[in-house]
Amino acid sequence: MAFEVTINEDRHSIDVDGDTPLLWVLRDVLGMTGTKFGCGMALCGACTVHINGEAVRSCITSIDSIGDAKVTTIEAIGKTPAGQKIQAAWLDREVPQCGYCQSGQIMSASALLASNPRPTDSDIDDAMSGNVCRCGTYVRIREAIKQAAQSGG
């Protein structure tokens, strides 16, 4: 059946089974490939998007659960104040290596910063430990979040 969803402020009508994870709607139906597949079980965070500003794992979020909520993906996170700061810090600190997990890292970090402008180390641990980085960029992720938090606002 068809579902109406709002992604990055655009309305889309999508004809898939209701239990189809949002991840595959984004990547395979809409061609928005910035959101990544890592595990399919909410264990790695590569697929993180925002639903009404909150970080969620799109690989276990079924399309029929979204309703009128607003979905934001990596492609549009730079339009939010927190996302913009996070991306600038990521660029400045040169966080990515292979880069594959970084969409998810940036989405989790942006949600953290939007709700908590001055996160402590322990806040960062809590918000970011669901996002795996196999290249082990954790040192720079932490530095970049702190830098973004200090960049005003």
We find the least distance from the C-beta atom of residue 125 to other proteins, in angstroms, to be: 4
From the list 5, 66, 71, 74, which residue makes contact with other proteins (rule: CB under 8 A)? Answer: 74
DSSP secondary structure of 55-93: EEEGGG-BGGGTTTPEEE-TTTGGGSHHHHHHHHHHHHH
Does 140 participate in binding other proteins (rule CB under 8 A)?
Answer: yes
Does 61 participate in binding other proteins (rule CB under 8 A)?
Answer: no
We find the least distance from the C-beta atom of residue 128 to other proteins, in angstroms, to be: 4
We find the least distance from the C-beta atom of residue 54 to other proteins, in angstroms, to be: 19
From CA 153, how far away is CA 149, in angstroms rounded? Answer: 8
Structure tokens at 90: 């990521």
Strand-pairing partners, residue 4, are 13
Structure tokens at 25: 């709607």
CB nearer to other proteins: give 31 or 152.
31
Q: Residues 143, 81: contact at Cβ < 8 Å?
A: no
From CA 27, how far away is CA 146, in angstroms rounded? Answer: 31
From the list 66, 96, 111, 113, which residue makes contact with other proteins (rule: CB under 8 A)? Answer: 96
Does 41 participate in binding other proteins (rule CB under 8 A)?
Answer: yes
Place of tokens 């880069």: 99
Q: Which residues bind other proteins (CB under 8 A)?
A: 16-17, 19-21, 23-25, 27-29, 31-41, 43-44, 46, 73-75, 78, 87, 90-91, 94-103, 106, 124-126, 128-142
